[in-house]
Structure 1
Amino acid sequence: MGRSKQIAVNAFSMASPTQSWAGLWAHPRSNGLGYTDIEFWTDLARLCERGLIDAVFLADVLGANDVYGGTTDAVLRSGTMMPNNDPMVLISAMAAVSRNLCFGITGNTTYEQPYLLARRFSTLDHLTKGRVAWNVVTGVLASTARAVGTTQQVAHDARYDMADEYMELMYKLWESSWEDGAAVRDKTSRTFADPDKVHMVHHHGEHYRCDAMHLSEPSPQRTPMIYAAGASGRGRVFAGRHAECTFMSTSDIGFAKKTVQAYRDEAVRAGRRPDSVKVFNAATVIVASSSAEARDIQRDIAAYSDEEGNLAMFSQWLGIDLSKYAPDDPITYVESNAIQSIMEAMTKYNPGRPIKVRDLGQFGKIGGREAFFVGSADEVCDEMVKWTEEADLDGFNLVRTVEPGGLGAFVDLVVPELQNRGVYKTAYAPGTMRQKFFPGSDGRLPPDHIGSTFRHRVVEPA
């Protein structure tokens, strides 16, 4: 007997040799070295669409991770999120070989120029026929600030204050600059656009100024579907106001349940329905025809996981130089400008034994990282269903391991079993990304979303 709520799944990737599990590009069966080839991305899109994966969700960072030891040595040696290419450039190729697969693209509000970013998203929304989402991030690396000529990194909560204003300007460009019907496209009258229906945006805020019309005509969604990954207190407030989907990373169901409820509560405080925000958790999945085989695969992958690279990644996420600590030192709570929710999950809300520095360098289930499912298809499906039921999750972002085998095994083994249980779609829903994720949507921002208040309103004469 199936549940009414089906599990959504995104493939979590990045334009780099290895993503969050350091060093796995060196595995004999890894295609990580092909990340600079267009076929790497078109093959990924085809595999995802074969498995009815909802979206490819692309991470990005705009600076080199130099937190561990004060250098980039560890991430360069392990090829972990460094080097990394622009995720936006990948989308057109993947969209050309797919019809329903959607794309979540990370864009940074602290360092990207809003006027230009708005055009890039509109362009991709056109080319994909409305299959794109913006994963809104504010940045965690001080090296990014230095790279773009800023003297110091903006404080954590202040970055979200800037992001709120950034979003306001983006909504103005996407929703109010061009009226519905402004793009006439009439060959008979030789009129492409009605000038009276295209308007200048005048935004003079604390952080941003803009006096311009949006350069793109309205795309299928106008505003792309909005993701937000912040699970800190300030991040949840931002998500409740702006996000249609949220993304967190925890290995504890209890913490996940608490965070899901917090997202829903913040949406209600922002005047929205609690179900207007879908919540995804990251998950590493190792699946095979038997539990024993899956464990063998886990041990095989662990042999290629780079301990120092993993510690460098945690140093970035926590904002702490872990090279200064001994392997058996416990992780204790420290407030930083990095990802506060990961620190809280590892310390304040960690129900198990204290997490030590050496734990963070291993490939396996680690408190403070994502969910970690290893086993047969039945066992993995049991865990996925348990998480969605107990934590009220909507789905998972599948963390990249050794590809294409890792995702391929999920598509071939897990997807059919989830379908047999009635908790996974058997066909894509039609329409734009927003319509696929929210059945009944007209493809535009819903009326209770703050962005919809910026739509141009035609005032009828009295």
Structure 2
Amino acid sequence: MSDTTTPKVKKQIILNAFVMNTPGHLAPGLWKHPRNKTDQYKKLSFWTDLAQLLDQAGFHAMFIADTLGAYDVYKGPSNVVPTLSSGAQFPVNDPLYLVPALSAVTKNLIFGVTASLTYEKPYALARRLSTVDHLSEGRVAWNIVTSYLDSAARNHGLNEQIAHDERYAIADEYLEVLYKLWEGSFRDDAVLADRQLGTYISSDGVREINHKGKYFEVPGPHFCEPSPQGTPFLFQAGVSEAGNKFGGTNGEAIFIGGQTPEVTRTTVDNIRGIAKEAGRDPNHIKVIVGINVIVAATDEEAQAKRDEYLQYADDEGALALFGGWTGIDLSTYSDDEDFRFSDSPRVQTVVRRFSATVPGTDNLPWTKRRIVEYISVGGLQAKIVGSTQTVADELERWVEVSDVDGFNLAHIVNPGAFEDIIEFLLPELRRRGLFRETIEKEGATAREVFIGSKRLPEDHPGSKYKWRTGESVPSYQAV
């Protein structure tokens, strides 16, 4: 009897380049490496060269991280000095201003831009994001964050951060305001631009949204005409219970952290479960995990490359990043303390997660030196160091075990890291049928690239605010 079993279709991987508008993103001190040019982050040519490289290679997106305050916990409080010589996410320029220029020199690359909603009014942010969605012809995605640094809160007029869960309660209403502005201010057929009639916008095609809530009062209407996507494609980053709920409800692509595919699977299943409970198609959410890849022709060459990178790492910068991410000041601990047995449960939890990603290290001590080495080549993210075969095998395993849809690939040196990925890794992923060979639609919008829809799909909660052709008023305003 012949075997009629249908072979399983492999999921094609989404690959984003994970960057930041700063000299030291996830590799403190590496700005001075001979191959690196991140100290040129202030020059537009640095970014246009990178965008064109990624676009031509077939990367899906450039995902640009951001932070609104310095990492000032280590040797703190409010001490930025440890970040300075290493450029450890200090200084940081605004990422949004890059998008129009980068979209002008590329054809298909999507630009995921981080912008916090905690310290900016929704009316103003809606206008800025609509503007770049117009100028990029729909190739912008907004990475929604609520901010987490005390330094950011202080510099925006607060004595301390807004409580975590309240930040997400504010975010829920914030998104409601934006959906009303983006989807419900202009009727779908409002913009005529009819030269013969001399009418740009139909007189009955624009309405105030008249939002009055607990946190915001916004009469509207939106001050921009609808952009190609209406609501820009929505990324979201957050793995707390409140963050997962917010992302599963609103996000269209979720950026998560995870040290192993087995543990990450729990987060992925939770996000998809929340989406289903909210009445959404779980396939309309793409889950992207952050990871660092160092790849070369052989495992030995890749390991040698990592060892060489570490010669340029900056200890103080790495510990400053660790303090900012975890809230833990390691300056109060001795250099030889094994943090597996720390009196701080928070430190123990962090280093145990690290140990899970480095095979054979379960019984080795985790001192400041080892933490510095771990942070200096890709931050808190999981790491893969090896040959083309090794890295491709591991990425394929991540997809199969965790069910993630793709990866935000961080860099250690730039130029360098992405060129290595393009040279060594992408051909093998394509050979395995794991990465796209061609672009299905030239100039597709961000939402079309990720989920195949130009506008918010009907199962997304923002769709209930759409003002459709033929309606006298938006349905959410109908009595």
Distance verdict in 2 for CA 1:104–1:420, change over 3 Å: same
The sequence identity of aligned pairs, in percent, is 41
Note if 1:436 corresponds to 2:415. Answer: no
Secondary structure of the residue aligned to 1:66 is coil
C-alpha separation in 1, matches of 2:352 and 2:172: 29
Note if 1:302 corresponds to 2:310. Answer: yes
Contact 1:428–1:436 (8 Å) recurs in 2: no
Distance verdict in 2 for CA 1:182–1:169, change over 3 Å: same
Aligned to 1:43: 49
1:242-261 map, 5 Å: 242-261=250-269
Q: CA deviation at 1:291?
A: 1.6
Q: Give the AA of the match of 1:158.
A: E
Aligned to 1:213: 221
1:45-444 map, 5 Å: 45-70=51-76, 71-327=79-335, 328-330=337-339, 346=351, 352=362, 355-363=366-374, 369-430=380-441, 431-439=444-452, 441=453, 443-444=454-455
* More moved, 13-22 vs 2-11: 2-11
Spell out, residue by residue over 1:189-210, the C-alpha distance to the aligned partner (whole angstroms, 9 max, x if none).
1111112111112111111121
Q: CA deviation at 1:144?
A: 0.9
Q: Which has the larger radius of gyration?
A: 2
C-alpha separation in 2, matches of 1:310 and 1:365: 6
| Count of matched residue pairs | 454
Distance verdict in 2 for CA 1:334–1:112, change over 3 Å: farther
C-alpha separation in 1, matches of 2:283 and 2:158: 39
Distance verdict in 2 for CA 1:425–1:116, change over 3 Å: same
Spell out, residue by residue over 1:94-136, the C-alpha distance to the aligned partner (whole angstroms, 9 max, x if none).
1011010001000101112211111111111111111111100
Q: CA deviation at 1:274?
A: 1.9
Contact 2:146–2:168 (8 Å) recurs in 1: yes
Contact 2:69–2:151 (8 Å) recurs in 1: yes
Q: CA deviation at 1:326?
A: 2.6
Contact 1:364–1:372 (8 Å) recurs in 2: no
Q: Give the AA of the match of 2:124.
A: L
C-alpha separation in 1, matches of 2:90 and 2:258: 24
Distance verdict in 2 for CA 1:456–1:258, change over 3 Å: same
Spell out, residue by residue over 1:395-450, the C-alpha distance to the aligned partner (whole angstroms, 9 max, x if none).
110112111111001011111110011110011232211111113x2x01111111
Q: CA deviation at 1:80?
A: 1.2
Structure 1 residue aligned with 2:461, among 443, 447, 450?
Answer: 450
C-alpha separation in 1, matches of 2:145 and 2:343: 23
Q: CA deviation at 1:375?
A: 1.2
Normalised by the length of structure 1, the TM-score is 0.93
- Structure 2 alignment gaps of length 5 or more: 1-6, 357-361, 474-479
Distance verdict in 2 for CA 1:137–1:244, change over 3 Å: same
Distance verdict in 2 for CA 1:81–1:211, change over 3 Å: same
Distance verdict in 2 for CA 1:165–1:286, change over 3 Å: same
C-alpha separation in 2, matches of 1:272 and 1:90: 33
Secondary structure of the residue aligned to 1:68 is coil
Q: CA deviation at 1:322?
A: 2.3
Contact 1:157–1:234 (8 Å) recurs in 2: yes
Distance verdict in 2 for CA 1:76–1:199, change over 3 Å: same
Q: Give the AA of the match of 1:330.
A: F
Q: Give the AA of the match of 2:422.
A: V
